[in-house]
Amino acid sequence: MAELQFREAIRDAMDEEMARDERVFLMGEEVAEYNGAYKVSEGLLDKYGFKRVIDTPISELGFAGIGVGAAMNGLRPIVEFMTFNFAVLAADQIINHASKARYMLGGQLNTPIVFRGPNASAGQLGATHSVAYDSMYAQFPGLSVIYPSEPDDAKGLLKSAIRNDDAVLFMESEQMYGLKGEVSDEEDYIIPIGKGKIKREGDDVTIVATGKMYHIAKQAATQLAKDGVEAEIIDPRTIKPLDIELIVESVKKTNRCIVVDESHPFGGLASEVGFLIQREAFDYLDAPVRRVTLPDVNAPFSKPLFDLWLPDAKEIIDAVNAVTYRK
C-alpha cells in the first residue's frame, strides 16, 4: 500500500486511464501549464501533451459543452471545474444534455464524461464558494454522483467513473486535497460505483457520512467510544446510486441512525436516507432518524460564524445522545 495525498490519488487515476485509453483527455481552467488550481493534474501535460491536457478560458458553459459534444462523438473527456460553485454556469450542459441524451435519443448515443472538481466549503471563502452540490445533481436521472472521503476511494472510484458509459459528477472536498491515506497498489485498482463501505464497526448507532463529513464523524465516534458508545460509520462513497441496502442492514443491527450531510437541510442526502430507512427498516428503529446538516443559511465569511455554521463533532455527539436517550 502506498501513502498518497488525495490529489495524488486522483492524479494517478487519471494518469492510468489516459495511458490505458487514448480517448481519455483532460480539459479545464489551468489544468495544463499551471498543473491545476490544486495541482491535481501536475505532470500530465508533460506526459500527454497539449492535445490531451487542455487549458480552457474561464467559460464553464462553453467548455462543458465541448466536453459533452466530444463524449457524444466517441471520446472520454474529464472536465475539471476550478470549483463546482461556478459549475452552475454549466448546469444546462450537465443537466439538460449530458444526463438526458441517451434517454431522449432512444439509446443511439451515450455521454461517457466525468465532471470533477472541488465541492462544498473550504473555509473563509464566502457564500459563493461554499456550496455542496452533490445532493442537487443527484436529483437528476442519468447522472451518477460520487463523493469520496479518502485517497483510496478517490482513485478506485475515479477510474470507474472514467470507464462509465454515462455522465458522472466526481465531487472532491476542497479541504481534503492534502489529506494522506493508504492507496491500494493493486494493478488496475477499481472500486465499483454505487457500493458503500462500513469504515468503522459498532453496535450502538449508525452514522452515515461522506466527503469531509466522514472525517468529522470519525472524530465524534472516537469521542463517543470513550463514553462507551460504539458508532458504526458508513461512507456511501457514491451519493447516486446510493447503497441503501448497506445502510439498512446496519440500522437493523444498531436500531438508530444519524446522517451527517454538508448540504442544507431541505431535500438533501440526509432527507433521502431518512425517508428510505423509515420505508425499509421502520420496525427496527428505536428512535427517529436524526440528521446533522448545515443550517438553512448561506456560508458566512467570519471565522467564528463559519465554525458555527459547519457541522462539527459536538453536533454529531449531541444527535447520538438524543437517539440513544443518554442525555
Please give the positions annotated as active site: 60, 129
Peptide bond into 236 cis (omega under 30): no
Adjacent-strand bridge partners of 233 = 200, 207
**How are strands ordered across the β-sheet holding 231-235?**
197-200, 231-235, 205-209, 257-260, 290-292
Neighbours of 151 (CB within 10 A): 25
Residue 179, CB half-sphere, CA atoms under 13 Å: how many?
Answer: 21
Grid cell listed for 210: 461522506
Residues 6+ apart with CB under 8 A from 286: 255, 256, 323
309, 315, 311: which is closest to 127 by C-alpha?
Answer: 309
3-state secondary structure of 229: coil
161, 62, 170: which is closest to 118 by C-alpha?
Answer: 170
Grid cell listed for 21: 485509453
3-state secondary structure of 197: strand
Instruction: Annotate 78-133 with DSSP letters as a single string.
Output: EEE-S-TTSGGGGHIIIIIIITTHHHHTTTS-----EEEEEES--SSS-GGG----
- Report how far residue 123's alpha carbon sits from residue 212's, in angstroms, rounded to the nearest whole number: 12
- Report how far residue 136's alpha carbon sits from residue 127's, in angstroms, rounded to the nearest whole number: 17
